[in-house]
Amino acid sequence: MSNHHCRIQQIEIYQSRIKLKEPFKISLAIHDHAESIYVIIKTNEGITGFGECSPSKAIQGETLETCFIIGRNIGEILLGRDPLNIGECVSAMDTYIYGNTSIKSAFDIALHDIASRHAGLPLYAYLGGRNDKTLVTDYTVSIDDPGKMASDSVKIKESGFPVIKIKLGESEEKDIERMIAIQHAVGSDIPLRLDANQGWDTQTAISILSSLSEWNIQFCEEPIPRWNFTELPVVKQHSPIPIMADESCFDHNDAKRLINLNACDYFNIKLGKSSGIFKARKIINLAVQSGKKIQVGGFLESRLGFTASAHLALSSDQIVYYDFDTPLMFNEDPVIGGITYLNNGVIKVSDDPGLGAVVDEKYLQTLDKIIVPGQNQK
């Protein structure tokens, strides 16, 4: 398949910070800005690919600054390579440095954008998918005092979102109080998703989830610390609510381990954890074999990163949950093309080649950037 004339000629790396409409709070951190790196890869054949990552210090151990520096080094390693041979490029990144899954994902997305544009296909079709299912996102309630969480939940319900995602992960007493306030405010007809972001110990997780058994709850994400994954099977066994692995499932190796342990019911794929689409597809294959359903989510990426996630979501029937709300929290939107947010949480993916999304050139000109090869290099 590989066209040996196609080569990576230039890579641009940009740092972006966009203010959020209001602070986004989870048990691990509080964010008032979305911080992203945009990676733009140009080929000698005139095809340009766009990628994005939004590092989380608490989850990947990466920052905007580390991604910028490591991004330059990765750029130097990928320069001159065949962008259509994505497996080889991924392997080169992994050989160069361990971890750093966030910045690797931005390169991986840009490579997939190039490959699918080169093939003249929208990314979902390049991945073997069809644009034949409705993607509907939930909307997330930040962890806060019960009254604020309840009123936020009402707003989300009134805006027409069909599912509410609730951030928890403090003490049993406080989290139950939050849930009662929310349930009281929105009633029991709207389904809820819980995300404890590793906030509970094993007993607390079992106790809280057991006391919510009668409620309309689809699943709970990452109830206990990720390092304690060997106890996840115990939580799953005793919880009346299905368990979704998030921070304990970065890539296919983690997924395999969790399947072997019978540790979870579902997987949550985020491109910033899996190092991008190449390894995310390996998780999907394992999920298909083991019959586990998947959610695709993300970090604080703009519509560009979530457009990649939406294309991935169309690539497999195993993916049935979508958590694509973050760009709706931004004060500004620098992306042209890409996914469109319709009413009631529905997301439309375009049939343009590749991602079908680019970052506004005027916006990029305002950002700090690195260009590989450097301007003074021959």
Of 104, 157, 167, 292, the active-site residue reads 167
Q: Tokens representing 167? A: 């951030």
DSSP string, 89-158: HHHHHHHH-S--HHHHHHHHHHHHHHHHHHTTSBHHHHTT--S-S-EEB-EEEPS--HHHHHHHHHHHHH
Of 195, 247, 254, 301, the active-site residue reads 195
Q: Is the alpha carbon torsion for 308, 310, 311, 315 positive or negative?
A: positive
Whole-number CA gyration radius for the chain: 20
Q: Which residue has the tokens 């210090």?
A: 57
Q: Which has the closest alpha carbon to 220: 245, 201, 237, 200?
A: 245
Respond yes or no: is residue 172 known to be catalytic: no
Respond yes or no: is residue 246 known to be catalytic: yes
Of 246, 247, 251, 323, the active-site residue reads 246
Of 165, 270, 279, 292, the active-site residue reads 270
Respond yes or no: is residue 231 known to be catalytic: no
Of 62, 82, 221, 222, the active-site residue reads 221
Quote the DSSP letter at residue 377.
-
Q: Tokens representing 318? A: 């195993």
Respond yes or no: is residue 167 known to be catalytic: yes
Q: Which residue has the tokens 């074999």?
A: 289
Respond yes or no: is residue 378 known to be catalytic: no
Active site residues: 167, 195, 221, 246, 270
